[in-house]
């Protein structure tokens, strides 16, 4: 079994007060940055409030990955001129998307984030245009010392995902109960619930997860309704 220091456990978002969260965990994946980037002062406040050794990862702004027709734009109250819809999302290297990355990177630097996650919608399929966009986007932007993780949610051929992750230096992010991790010097797991967000992981599930994290250093981020309890239970299991 890997040492506990190689397995980092947390939740997708502050599911309790920050003060309580910082007492319970040493890792969080910031969700707010996907919907609408907070002010840089917020990043400074979070960073300064965190205890020594605490680690932030964060989701990239949806303007990079999602098209304006996505309901997540409405949730964030982002209004885009319909005549400009084709200038956002899908990793297009338009001025709008590149600016969204610059602002995402600025927030990540201020926060001290180590990994930036690019989560794609299911409608982002393995078309020639989308693959071309990914190559151009990741080949053009300044990585600024971050590690990048990519979570494809549509149906992608394993060979193509592996090729892109190797070529573009992306950690393949998966829910390990649904897909196999294909590439990266570490594993980045996001657990959305085996049957949906209302799912509560059983002791047997967590034991299976423990076996999966033995392969490489692993980030384990719970993202189900019971995320706090399940993350604490899993943390106790790996420490034991």
pLDDT of residue 3: 52
pLDDT tens digits, one per residue of 11-55: 999 999 999 999 999 999 999 999 999 999 999 999 999 999 999
Topology at the third CATH level for domain 4-239: TIM Barrel (3.20.20)
pLDDT tens digits, one per residue of 101-159: 999 999 999 999 999 999 999 999 999 999 999 999 999 999 889 999 999 998 999 99
Main-chain phi, psi angles of 9, to 5 degrees: -125, 135
Residue 158 CB neighbours (<10 A): 11
At CA 104, angle to CA 136 and CA 7, rounded to 5? 95
Mean pLDDT of 204-211: 97
CA dihedral 75, 79, 80, 82 (to 10 degrees): 90
Q: Which of 157, 153, 162 is nearest to 124 (CA)?
A: 153
pLDDT of residue 59: 98
How far is it, in rounded angstroms, from Cα 138 to Cα 200?
Answer: 36
Q: Which of 3, 22, 6 is nearest to 14 (CA)?
A: 22
29 has which bridge partners?
A: 12, 57
The domain limits of the chain are 4-239
pLDDT of residue 213: 95
Overall residue count recorded for the chain in this entry:
240
Label residue 5 by pLDDT band (50, 70, 90).
low
pLDDT tens digits, one per residue of 160-206: 999 999 999 999 999 999 999 999 999 999 999 999 999 999 999 99
* Structure tokens that stand for 69 in this block: 């027709």
232 pLDDT more than 70: yes
Main-chain phi, psi angles of 187, to 5 degrees: -100, 140
pLDDT of residue 215: 83
pLDDT tens digits, one per residue of 53-95: 999 999 999 999 999 999 999 989 999 999 999 999 999 999 9
- For helices 158-168 and 128-140, angle between their N-to-C axes, nearest 10 degrees: 20
pLDDT of residue 2: 52
């Amino acid at each position: 079994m890997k040492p506990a220091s190689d397995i980092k456990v947390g939740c997708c978002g502050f599911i309790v007060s920050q003060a309580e969260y910082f007492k319970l965990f040493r890792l969080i994946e910031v969700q707010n940055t996907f919907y609408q980037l907070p002010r840089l002062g917020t990043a400074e406040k979070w960073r300064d409030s965190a205890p020594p050794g605490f680690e932030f990862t964060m989701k990239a702004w949806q303007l990079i990955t999602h098209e304006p027709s996505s309901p997540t734009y409405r949730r964030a109250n982002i209004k885009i001129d319909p005549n400009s819809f084709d200038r956002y999302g899908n990793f297009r290297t338009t001025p709008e998307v590149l600016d969204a990355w610059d602002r995402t990177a600025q927030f990540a630097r201020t926060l001290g984030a180590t990994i930036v996650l690019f989560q794609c919608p299911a409608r982002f399929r393995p078309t020639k245009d989308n693959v071309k966009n990914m190559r151009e986007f990741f080949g053009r932007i300044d990585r600024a010392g971050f590690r990048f993780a990519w979570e494809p949610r549509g149906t992608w051929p394993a060979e193509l995902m592996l090729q892109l992750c190797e070529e573009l230096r992306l950690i393949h992010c998966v829910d390990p109960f649904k897909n196999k991790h294909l590439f990266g010097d570490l594993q980045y797991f996001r657990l959305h619930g085996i049957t949906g967000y209302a799912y509560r992981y059983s002791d047997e599930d967590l034991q299976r997860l423990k076996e999966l994290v033995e392969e490489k250093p692993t980030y384990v981020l719970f993202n189900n309704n019971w995320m706090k309890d399940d993350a604490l239970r899993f943390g106790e299991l790996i420490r034991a």
